[in-house]
Amino acid sequence: MNSNLFSYIWQHTRRDQIWIIGVILISMPFLFLALDLPKAIVNGPIQGRGFMTPDATARFLELKFALPQWLGGSNLNLFSGFELSRMGYLVGLSFVFLGLVCINGLFKFYINTFKGRLGERMLRRLRYELVDRVLRFPMPYFKKVKPAEVATMIKDEVEPLGGFIGDAFVQPVFLSGQALTAMIFIMVQNIWLGLIAASIVLIQAFLIPRLRKRLLVLGKQQQLTARDLAGRVAEVVEGIGEVRTNDTSNFERADISNRLGRIFFIRYELFQRKFFVKFLNNFLAQLTPFLFFLIGGYFAISGSLDIGQLVAVIAAYKDLPGPIKELIDWDQQRQDVEIKYNQVCEQFSPQPMITAALQAPTPGVVANLSQPLAVSGLTITDDTGTMVLEPVDFALAPGEWVAAVGEVNAGAEITAEALAQLVPPTAGHIRIGDQPLDAISAAVTGRRIAYVGPDTYLRNLSIRACLLSALMNHPQRSLSGQSGLKRDLEEARASGNSELDWSADWIDYDRLGVADASHIDKRILKALTLVEMDDEVFEFGLRSQPDASASRAIETPILTARAALKARLAKASIAHMVEPFDPDRFQNQATIAENLVFGAALSKEFEAENLPRNRLFLDILAENALDQQLYDVGRKIAATVVELFADLPPNHPFFDRLSFVKPEELPTYKTMLARLGDRDYVAADKTDRGLLLGLALRYIEPRHRLNLLTDDIRTLIIAARRRLIERIRAGKSATVAIYEPEHYNVGSSLEANILFGRIAHGLADAPNKVHQAIRETLVDLNLRDTVLEAGLSFVVGNGGKRLTQAQRQKLALARALLKEPDILIVNRGLANLNPRNQRAIMAALAKAKPKARPKSGTTNEVGTVEKKPRMTVFWVLASPALVELFDRVLVFHDGRITADGTPAKLMDSSKQLKRLVA
């Protein structure tokens, strides 16, 4: 990065800057004319100079130059103009004035737009360059930077730079031109008034920057404190678990309060000073007209200055303080942004950066890394200077499976990280064939080497997208049309941004050997099965609720499964364990709310807790005489609950089983019941009605067993349900997905769609048996893959937090396998699984040799394009007992390799290995 802001700007915007300065210079004479014209109007037609007689005329728009003496001294007549009367002359001049106003305005408009675009382009370039640099930072540097601070710098701190860049060269030229024009004009009119104006300007130029020095310091402090605040807030969010488990939230509050306080005082002082400077500026600006009136008036009265000149001077002076002030502003801004720019430059220039060439976009197929990987004299010291890896030497033959074992941090982990280029070697080399690893382009290492560490960062995407993200190395085929793209592309080029098409399909299907997106899921499932994550994804799929477009494809199979499940339950004589949804019958296992709405809510107002406030719902209840009935049910529930629980202490274990009300709400119900006495529904007020209705709506007879539902109420509920369904169907938007036995329900999960009913309460083991039956049904119908594919849409949460750590590890391994790498490096990648599962996965992996596939290749840097050999594996084992699955074992101890050989041999000879396995 160019360390000087001005040369950075000049380097990228030279042509534009010269152009706009040219335009500004051209605009100057017009500005001068617009200043001069009022004088001509006042003195000429208004005051009558040159129109001594009523019918006198003057030449309008006459263009005539007196040639200098050395050119002959004659008059050059370009345009003889029109002959106009005094009135006509006034009209003519006024229109010329209007024309000049328009021209000047248009110049300003063009210049400002051009400057704005210039600035925005440079801002875009700068931000892009900063992110590009982040992508090329040396790995150890990431230990020191706080993500939120980097983000703040890129997002907020360079923003004023963008504004300034447009003005960097233009503003001083433009403003000083403006000010100079006005100044010269005033000077020409009257030298004394000119001197007054000039001296005030000099005072301004001297005083204001001095006053503003402190402002700059404050501005910088404000920036640093705000950046720190962003970093702190991010820390709190990332470490919220620690904050909660240690009850340090109040310390965080105090810390944030303290920081905000500091920012407050900085900003407060900033404002005070800013407004004082403003006051002074305004005062000085107003002082000049005062002097003009006084002194200019004196000259005018004494006759040495005509009124027209005085008016013109005062008008011209209007244009003087503005540019001067802005010029001073510009200079302040310059100092300010130079400081900022230098700060940002410093932060974004850690050495040694990865060269841009290594990360250059590389289309097509890259060569296989089919030569041995050799490590020689590899030494690593950490940032405290401690040697964590003494010189180690070893080689991995292509296709060889090597396990690295040792105590935690005995050197195996750091070796794996060095092989993945996550840690730079302090000394020594890693080579593939005869090429140093760090000289091989990222396109090759990133596609041919896979690394799985103990924790993997997952973006908040679906499982499918997470897995495919590792295959997004280069845009493969454009998805959008060409229109609109061209503009984007040109603009990207103008600001030196990446010209790769973001919206294209980036997934390299060829590399996976599948034709297109529709076949990709099969490959993903294969990888997930290999890492034993298929069952979990299956459960995600069952609980998922596919969106409208995805559900259309699976409607038919799911309905088939619904019928098949029914048959299976009947065959196993457990049909009574599920009560199906039947529009004409009361659903005993569901709440009254569910019985009435009889569907899955798609909009908030039909969710159970909002029903007591749902206008349509309340109307239906009233129309079907259910409002009073449910009020009575609610009241009985409230009475029972209050009667049973009122004198229990709030933390009594019985409260755990109370589903209707929270312990702290009990007093509310108690006082309400007392207040209501034996008043009936009509006499009760709206709030009480709502509360009691809410209780009634949550009631399930077989579960709560209060014997509150009569056949009469059930009949009324079914009638009300029918009316409500009609009204919902007649409504404009889909608010409820109604349960229909012959149709797929878009508001329910796959599992709920297959079950299409409720599991009966109070039957031993019913949930397990029914769930088991659902799973068996799907397997029988060959629908397992369909559900698995739905499960691939499960969104993993921020950083993958909706998954367990073991699931994240399995997902990371699956992603690595999907790449079909030549070299697989695993660094305690399955450490969170139990050893039995680790063994099963590794054994499956050893069996699943990738099939040979000829590749049409491009030129290669390393190795040759040939049929695919078995992948090389370097695996730092969390469970050393698994060494037997490998060809060779490296035993690490105290940063050194102490044994190297086949597992069978080392189990006999290496004491360390024996101890680790034991």
Partner 1 sequence: MSIQDEVAVLRRIPLFAHIDAQKLKLLAFTSERIVYEPGQTLFLQGEEGDASFVIIDGQADILVDSPQGPVSVAKVERNAIVGEVAVLCDVPRTATVKAFTRLDTLRVTKAQFLSLLTEFPELTVEIMKILALRLTKTSTELSQARSRLLALERPSA
Which lies closer to partner 1 via its Cβ, residue 222 or residue 640?
A: 640
Is 586 a binding residue for partner 1 by CB under 8 A? The answer is no
- 176 CB neighbour count, 10 Å cutoff: 15
**Cα distance between residue 28 and residue 18, in whole Å:** 16
Min dist. Cβ of residue 754 to partner 1 (A): 24
Which lies closer to partner 1 via its Cβ, residue 532 or residue 701?
A: 701
**Cα distance between residue 190 and residue 317, in whole Å:** 12
* 85 DSSP β-pair partners: 57
Is 711 a binding residue for partner 1 by CB under 8 A? The answer is no
Which are the contacts of 131, defined by CB distance < 8 A and separation ≥ 6?
Answer: 154
Which lies closer to partner 1 via its Cβ, residue 632 or residue 861?
A: 632
Question: Segment contacting partner 1 (CB under 8 A): 207-215, 714-722, 755-763, 795-803?
Answer: 755-763
* Cα–Cα–Cα angle for 73, 75, 78, rounded to 5 degrees: 140
Which lies closer to partner 1 via its Cβ, residue 107 or residue 645?
A: 645
Which lies closer to partner 1 via its Cβ, residue 764 or residue 918?
A: 764
Amino acid at 482: Q
Min dist. Cβ of residue 758 to partner 1 (A): 16
Which lies closer to partner 1 via its Cβ, residue 363 or residue 650?
A: 650
Question: Segment contacting partner 1 (CB under 8 A): 137-145, 413-421, 491-499, 642-650?
Answer: 642-650
Which lies closer to partner 1 via its Cβ, residue 718 or residue 760?
A: 760
Full DSSP string of 824-871: EEEESTTTTS-HHHHHHHHHHHHH-PPPP--------SSS---S--PP
**Total length of the chain:** 918
Is 658 a binding residue for partner 1 by CB under 8 A? The answer is yes
Which lies closer to partner 1 via its Cβ, residue 385 or residue 653?
A: 653
Among 393, 490, 510, 643, binds partner 1 (CB under 8 A): 643
Min dist. Cβ of residue 687 to partner 1 (A): 26
Residue identified by tokens 């590890």 is 809
**Cα distance between residue 323 and residue 330, in whole Å:** 10
Is 644 a binding residue for partner 1 by CB under 8 A? The answer is yes
Question: Segment contacting partner 1 (CB under 8 A): 421-429, 502-510, 614-622, 756-764?
Answer: 756-764
**Cα distance between residue 581 and residue 744, in whole Å:** 13
H-run or E-run covering 65 = strand 63-66
Residue identified by tokens 């993997």 is 456
Is 765 a binding residue for partner 1 by CB under 8 A? The answer is yes
Is 763 a binding residue for partner 1 by CB under 8 A? The answer is yes
Do the Cβ atoms of 127 and 158 come closer than 8 Å?
Answer: yes
Is 657 a binding residue for partner 1 by CB under 8 A? The answer is yes
Is 851 a binding residue for partner 1 by CB under 8 A? The answer is no
Which are the contacts of 378, defined by CB distance < 8 A and separation ≥ 6?
Answer: 389, 391, 392, 393, 415, 418, 425, 427, 428, 429, 430
* Cα–Cα–Cα angle for 617, 622, 628, rounded to 5 degrees: 115
Is 707 a binding residue for partner 1 by CB under 8 A? The answer is yes
Reported as half-sphere exposure (CB side, CA atoms, 13 A), residue 477 has a value of: 7
Which lies closer to partner 1 via its Cβ, residue 572 or residue 625?
A: 572
Which lies closer to partner 1 via its Cβ, residue 516 or residue 765?
A: 765
Is 575 a binding residue for partner 1 by CB under 8 A? The answer is no
**Cα distance between residue 405 and residue 762, in whole Å:** 52
Min dist. Cβ of residue 645 to partner 1 (A): 7
Among 55, 383, 584, 656, binds partner 1 (CB under 8 A): 656
Min dist. Cβ of residue 637 to partner 1 (A): 11
Is 645 a binding residue for partner 1 by CB under 8 A? The answer is yes
Min dist. Cβ of residue 765 to partner 1 (A): 6
**Cα distance between residue 129 and residue 122, in whole Å:** 10
Which lies closer to partner 1 via its Cβ, residue 273 or residue 636?
A: 636
Reported as half-sphere exposure (CB side, CA atoms, 13 A), residue 891 has a value of: 22
Question: Segment contacting partner 1 (CB under 8 A): 78-86, 364-372, 387-395, 639-647?
Answer: 639-647
Binding mask 677-706 for partner 1 (x = CB under 8 A): -------------------------x-xxx
Which lies closer to partner 1 via its Cβ, residue 115 or residue 568?
A: 568
Which are the contacts of 337, defined by CB distance < 8 A and separation ≥ 6?
Answer: 5, 160, 161, 164
* Cα–Cα–Cα angle for 325, 328, 331, rounded to 5 degrees: 150
Among 653, 712, 733, 918, binds partner 1 (CB under 8 A): 653
Question: Segment contacting partner 1 (CB under 8 A): 312-320, 387-395, 643-651, 830-838?
Answer: 643-651
Which are the contacts of 767, defined by CB distance < 8 A and separation ≥ 6?
Answer: 759
Min dist. Cβ of residue 763 to partner 1 (A): 5
Instruction: Give the total of residues touching partner 1 (CB under 8 A).
Output: 21
Among 68, 73, 303, 762, binds partner 1 (CB under 8 A): 762
Is 490 a binding residue for partner 1 by CB under 8 A? The answer is no
Is 73 a binding residue for partner 1 by CB under 8 A? The answer is no
Amino acid at 557: P
**Cα distance between residue 212 and residue 215, in whole Å:** 5
Q: Which residues bind partner 1 (CB under 8 A)?
A: 640, 643-645, 648, 652-654, 656-658, 702, 704-707, 761-765
